[in-house]
Chain A
Amino acid sequence: MAFDKMELKDIEVWDGNFAAAQALRQCQIDVVAAYPITPSTPIVEGYAKFLSDNYIEGEFVMVESEHAAMSGCIGAAAAGGRVATATSSQGFALMVETLYQASGMRLPIVLNVVNRALASPLNVNGDHSDMYLGRDSGWIQIDAYCPQDAYDLNFIAFKVSEDHDIRLPAMVHQDGFMTSHTAQGVHTLSDDVAYNFVGNYKPMNDMLDFEHPVTHGVQTEEDWHFEHKARQHNDLMTKVLPKIQEAFDDFEKLSGRKYNIVEEYDTKDADVCVVCLGSSVETAREVALEMRAKGIKAGVVGIRVIRPFPFEQVRDALKGIKSIAALDRSSPNGAAGMLFNEIAGSLFNTDTKALLSGYIYGLGGRDLTKAHLVDLFTELQANVDAGKVTTPLQQFIGVRGPKLSYL
């Protein structure tokens, strides 16, 4: 039985979860192995409903845990077909072992991560603890700021992940609830246009090619392990960003929507700049415009590709900025935030005179308000005026009780 195509309006009102589910439908995934968890559940529920209404041809395997979900995805990907799943938070944490296995086995899989805090204390709301937990796992990590991004970036993820020069799994991140459950207008692609952009799946070392038996997931010790890991890192460092840029360029031609590895907003003449991820980028942009009206030359940098980290693009984007704030939505638990570290790494050994300070915010779904950002930009301007960082290097914002700051 052939599956049915779906007629979409040019603009649909979708939340981030449904946008991702629609993208998965249009990519015609062969196998989805999944397990429910708030707030990503509607992605796989949506997918299951599409299947039960004959909008999808493929296998949907509802497994008994997130670890099994990714294990099933690995087996399916090694068998040779298009594979995807979705998860959040604790489910992501349970998957971690298999995330490293998937990337080390060089299997293209797309994982939608609807970002949520990690227990304890248990919390269902959005922060980036799970995203950060995956940052050394060898996956490509792309970040959506809104439902439109969640839709579009899935197509990018498949195209890059399945490319035979890449063969690495990819995560598409979106903020739990703020993006996943907030309905917005989403510009759509028709089923044919969307599918043709991603293209037919091209198998490689597929276990179901019985004329060419393959061995997946071998043992290597000190004699070969380092070479395998080094090669994976090398491909991430040298091949992935150009391929993502190529996919962004192709996608822009197709849809008119332009994505960048690092998104820059009013940075060219800016004195102060906020660097952040997720739905906070939009809030920061709005406040930056208001600050400009008050005479503070404010800009915003949104990191679109978290892994591989775009060191050169970040360095270029921050060129000439006098005071930079790195906003991390995950407790670094005894260190600087991830963005603080990576930005410092990008700028160190350059001739920058930029001042860098870090802010920890929004844990467990705590709102980042415009007032917070007004204060933050004001502090950055004070740094510019003083010619030095006037605040502690790490501050917690929006948390009750006495102000927490360090370093």
Chain B
Amino acid sequence: MSEMKKIKNLKEFSTSADRFEGANLLCPGCAHSIIVREVLNATNDDLVLSASTGCLEVCTAVYPYTSWDASWIHIGFENGSTAVAGAEAMYKALKTKGRLKQPDRNPKFVSFAGDGASYDIGFQWISGCMERGHNMMHIVLDNEVYANTGGQRSSSTPIGASATTSPAGRVSYGEKRNKKDMVSIMASHHIPYSAQVSPNKWKDMVKKIQHGFAVDGPVFINAASPCTTEWKFDPKDTMTIADLATDSLVFPLYEIIDGRELNITYRPKNIVPVEDYLAAQGRFKHLFKDEYKYLIKEWQERIDDNWAYLQRREEAKV
């Protein structure tokens, strides 16, 4: 077992050895890069990383450049998780056979993918990786939309959001379906650890990532990733939006141990109305027309209901 990295404060955290370079093509204000840096900086161990096709991939490995100072692979849209699983299998094989070049290391295997590459097209691959017990972590950079291809809806897009394939219009309020509960689905694989994180709560993030690295077996992390381009907010407001997401409980922060014990890891002192979260983003602008205001009320009820559900689960330790 490798030593867990000790992080005293944000200044130290933000200036510790960085294996994801700032030289990349992501949009100003993109939360992906913040999340990736937080994850990578949570450990000093060697890393084997993958990215599924998507914003993170196309913006960080454009030949002849790379933003990654760690082993990194991209194959396709749906199979980034399995790329890492294959590498992890090779690590085990070479360890058994005594052929590792640096046998004293404790590499961490991590796949990054967007919500489209995780909730939709890569769903089966991730399920396979979780079920087979690979010692790996899959992290969803959940911006609730196919951002790389210009803002189409995914099964993570929440109800009422305007996306290019579920646009708000004269007779439509945009996306009609509710977001898929991916954390629960993955926890149902009875993996040792699954959690939801958000980049604004960096201590919570680091704790969960370090917990995930410490357990033996597959780990699933869903990371809220506010998207300045598709959620339509000013690039300087990324962290404000993330704060609204966690403090309105639209993105509640919790963890599930072994698929059967849920712990809430962040309880906002002042719970913000969901309306404030929606109002801060252009993708929900149309909901504030008189005819759609009932949807804002329904949003609040749904979030309240989910928060009550999470608390019941925590209390009952299920």
Q: Tell me, yes or no, whether A269 is within 8 Å of chain B by CB.
A: no
Is the beta-carbon distance between B132 and A63 smaller than 8 angstroms? Answer: yes
Cβ of B92 to closest chain A Cβ, rounded Å: 5
**Count of A-B contacts judged by CB separation below 8 Å:** 169
Give the chain A neighbours of B127 by CB distance below 8 A: 64
Give the chain B neighbours of A76 by CB distance below 8 A: 86-87, 89-90, 93
Alpha-carbon distance between A207 and B91 when the two chains are bound, in angstroms: 10
Give the chain A neighbours of B107 by CB distance below 8 A: 208, 210
Is the beta-carbon distance between B87 and A98 smaller than 8 angstroms? Answer: no
Q: Tell me, yes or no, whether B289 is within 8 Å of chain A by CB.
A: no
Give the chain B neighbours of A215 by CB distance below 8 A: 61, 66, 68, 72-73
Give the chain A neighbours of B72 by CB distance below 8 A: 207, 213-216
Q: Tell me, yes or no, whether A209 is within 8 Å of chain B by CB.
A: yes
Give the chain B neighbours of A379 by CB distance below 8 A: none
Give the chain B neighbours of A376 by CB distance below 8 A: none
Give the chain B neighbours of A221 by CB distance below 8 A: 62
Cβ of A148 to closest chain B Cβ, rounded Å: 29
Give the chain B neighbours of A64 by CB distance below 8 A: 124-125, 127-128, 131
Is the beta-carbon distance between B89 and A208 smaller than 8 angstroms? Answer: no
Q: Tell me, yes or no, whether B48 is within 8 Å of chain A by CB.
A: yes
Known contacts A71-B82, A211-B102, A219-B57, A31 near B90 by CB under 8 Å: yes
Is the beta-carbon distance between B71 and A72 smaller than 8 angstroms? Answer: no
Stretch in contact with the other chain, from A77-85, A137-145, A187-195, A324-332? A77-85
Give the chain B neighbours of A98 by CB distance below 8 A: 75-76, 79
Give the chain B neighbours of A263 by CB distance below 8 A: none
Known contacts A71-B79, A74-B83, A208 near B100 by CB under 8 Å: yes
Among B116-131, those with CB < 8 Å from A are 124-125, 127-128, 131
Most chain A CB within a 10 A radius of its CB, from B58, B62, B76, B94: B94
Cβ of A26 to closest chain B Cβ, rounded Å: 15
Q: Tell me, yes or no, whether B143 is within 8 Å of chain A by CB.
A: no
Is the beta-carbon distance between A216 and B94 smaller than 8 angstroms? Answer: no
Question: B62: nearest residue on chain A (CB-CB)?
Answer: A219
Alpha-carbon distance between A74 and B125 when the two chains are bound, in angstroms: 14
Q: Select B79's contact among A61, A67, A78, beta carbons within 8 Å.
A: A67
Give the chain A neighbours of B70 by CB distance below 8 A: 213
Is the beta-carbon distance between B66 and A65 smaller than 8 angstroms? Answer: no
Q: Tell me, yes or no, whether A59 is within 8 Å of chain B by CB.
A: yes
Cβ of B146 to closest chain A Cβ, rounded Å: 17
Give the chain B neighbours of A83 by CB distance below 8 A: 90
Question: B77: nearest residue on chain A (CB-CB)?
Answer: A97
Known contacts A210-B46, A216-B72, A63 near B128 by CB under 8 Å: yes
List 20 additional contacts besides A63-B132, A74-B73, A78-B86; criterion CB under 8 Å: A65-B125, A71-B75, A71-B76, A72-B89, A74-B83, A75-B50, A75-B75, A75-B83, A75-B90, A77-B86, A77-B90, A207-B73, A208-B100, A209-B101, A210-B46, A210-B107, A213-B72, A215-B61, A215-B72, A218-B63
The 3 closest A-B pairs by CB, nearest first: A75-B86, A79-B90, A71-B79
| Residue positions of B touching A, CB distance < 8 A | 46, 48, 50, 57-58, 61-64, 66, 68-76, 78-79, 82-94, 96-97, 99-102, 105, 107, 124-125, 127-128, 131-132
